[in-house]
Amino acid sequence: MAETTSTNHPLLVAKDVRKVFGTRKRTTEVLKGLDLTVGAGEFVGIMGASGAGKTTFMNVLATIDRPTSGSIMIDGQDIITMKDKPLSAFRRESLGFIFQDYNLLDTLTAKENILLPLSLGNSPKKVIEQTYNQLVQTLDIQEMGDQYPHELSGGQKQRVSAARALIHQPKMLFADEPTGALDSKSAAMLLGKMEELNRTQGVTIMMVTHDPLASSYCNRVVFLKDGKLYTELYRGKRTRQEFFNDILNVQAVLGGEAYAAH
């Protein structure tokens, strides 16, 4: 366990996170006390069957949703007690998001979409331009700056979305099924880029996915089951193919159990 995190200080620390949906009479506990620590520079995947609570868990960690109880610290800041305004500011400045359906604004060009998170601040244009150029080069979307989302393919849109998530150099990047709407080639390209960013620039990434191939790009994969932590796998020195096979095995057990329990 210590093999990857020992050198890195913890960026995200979540303790006993619970989330209950519904009204007083009929409630469903979706998250049943989850603990998770993510070190700076990690690339963590979250897997689990539908309804296991993956997306809810990430929304809660990513400050998009509030937990019912528990504590979450990101970069030493308690995001549970934060008021809405500073929380929004925190999200805008310190976190980045990639969504399954891109969530680009139709009326803005790719470049405008990418620079959107910086539109309220007053960072010097030169610095922004530099970051922008570097990012679009890494993500291979240099030529698309003036194009509108409807002129781009799914893979291009998702890379624009990734650029937007990273333009303000967030402490942490959250990705919710980023490859869900992509064909396998575009998916591989995006994941490769994400891995590259993680490796070369030390971007901390947390990715929710149900695709074992996608999660094989991670350093670590956390499996959820019925709102609880089931197990976790570290890639270590293994090749991606080996890691992929391990993930498949865990998933088979998970799926098998789920099937048997049915």
Partner 1 sequence: MRLTELVRRNMIKNMKQYYLYFFSLIFSVMLYFIFSTIQYDDSIGQAIQSSSSVSTAFLVGVIFLAVIMLVFVLYAKALFYKRRGREIGLYQLIGLSKWQVAKMLIIENLFLLAGATLIGIALGLVFARIFLLLFMKVLQLNAEISLEFSGEAILQTGVLFLSILTLTTIQTILVIQKHSLVELFRSKEQGEGIQEERPKRQAIMAGLGVLFIGFGYWLSGNMMNAFLFFNMLAVLFFTIFGTFLLFRVTISWLMERIRKRADGHLSFKNALSIAPMIHRMKSNAKLFTLITTLSAITLTLTTGAYSLYYSTAEESRGMYPHDFMFTQSDAEQAESFTALLEDKEIGFKAAEIETVNKEITMEGFDQGFGIETEAQPTTFAPFSQLQKAGINVKAEAGEGIYYGTLGPEVNVENAVITADDQKVSLIDAKNMYALNIDTNYSVTAVDDRTFRSLQETAETETYTTVNVSDEEERELANELYHSVFSNVDGDDLATYVDRFKQSLESAGMLIFISGFLGTVFLAATGSILYFKQMTEVEEEKSSYRTLRQLGFTVENMVSGIGRKQLLFFLLPLAIGLLHCYFAIQSIDFLFRTSIVVPVVISISVYTLIYVFFYVLSLTNSRKEVRAVLGK
88 binds partner 1 (CB under 8 A): yes
Give the closest residue to 221 by CA, choosing from 209, 238, 239, 237.
Answer: 209
- Of 159, 234, 174, 247, the C-alpha closest to 206 is 174
Q: How many residues bind partner 1 (CB under 8 A)?
A: 35
The nearest distance, CB 117 to partner 1, in angstroms, is: 6
Asked whether position 23 contacts partner 1 by CB under 8 A, the answer is: no
What six digits make up the tokens of 171?
A: 């402490």
Buried b (16+ CB within 10 A) or exposed e, 31-43: beebebebbbbbb
Least Å distance, CB 85 to partner 1, is 6
Choice from 18, 32, 92, 228 touching partner 1 (CB under 8 A): 92
Among the candidate windows 13-21, 39-47, 93-101, 194-202, which touches partner 1 by CB under 8 A? 93-101
196 interacts with partner 1 by CB under 8 A:
no
Q: Is 155 helix (H, G, I), strand (E, B) or coil?
A: helix
Cα–Cα distance between 185 and 61 in angstroms, integer?
A: 30
Whole-number Å distance between alpha carbons of 126 and 33:
46
Contact flags string 39-68 toward partner 1, x per CB under 8 A? -------------------------x----
Tokens linked to 31: 């998250």
**Quick one: 149 or 212, whose CB is closer to partner 1?**
149
Buried (b) or exposed (e) across 129-155, using 16+ Cβ within 10 A? eebbeebbebbebeebbeebbeebebb
Window 141-170: residues binding partner 1 (CB under 8 A): 145, 148, 150, 164
Q: How far is the CB of 250 from partner 1 (least distance, A)?
A: 30
Q: In what order do the strands lie in the sheet with 77-78?
A: 27-39, 10-22, 69-74, 77-78
Minimum gap (Å) between residue 30 Cβ and partner 1: 17
Residues 117 to 146 in contact with partner 1, rule: CB under 8 A: 117-120, 125, 128, 132, 145
Output the smallest distance, CB 110 to partner 1, in A. 9
In the complex, which residues of this chain contact partner 1 (CB under 8 A)? 64, 84-85, 88-93, 95, 97, 99, 103-109, 111-112, 114-120, 125, 128, 132, 145, 148, 150, 164
